Amino acid sequence: MMERESGGEHASSPGILASVRGLTATALAIAQARLQLLSNELQEQGVRGLQMLALGAIALFCAATGVLLLTVWIVIALWDQYRLLTIGVLALIYFAGCAAALRVLKIKAVERPKLFAASLAELQRDRDLLRP
């Protein structure tokens, strides 16, 4: 009878080992899927960041050139009568624009989207499914 019990233990042992291997393989597959999702998000953020940086630089260059040319044109047009007043008013307008842009920038910096939101949501769903 001892031989049957020990034989039975050995017979169930590969079943437990196979179950642990299967569980490990599943956990690794889940981890791999999450890492791939994280990698995709990093790539998307990198590409998006570069696009925004390039478009911002182009917009800034064009706007600065346009503002400079407009300023020169206005100052030259009003040079004889109101040169100092014109330069002062334009400087105030530019400083007001700078202040408004900095205010919006501060708001945008606070409201930025959470990094890796999709990955964190998937991990939370996984945790919820695994909880008893």
Distance between CA atoms of residues 6 and 17, nearest Å? 17
Q: Are 34 and 122 in contact (CB under 8 A)?
A: yes
Phi/psi for 55 (5° steps) reads: -65, -40
The string of pLDDT tens digits covering residues 94-124 is: 999 999 999 998 988 888 767 677 777 877 7
> pLDDT value at position 99?
95
pLDDT surpasses 50 at 88? yes
Q: Are 87 and 75 in contact (CB under 8 A)?
A: yes
Q: How many residues does the chain have?
A: 132
pLDDT surpasses 50 at 20? yes
Q: Are 110 and 32 in contact (CB under 8 A)?
A: no
Distance between CA atoms of residues 17 and 107, nearest Å? 55
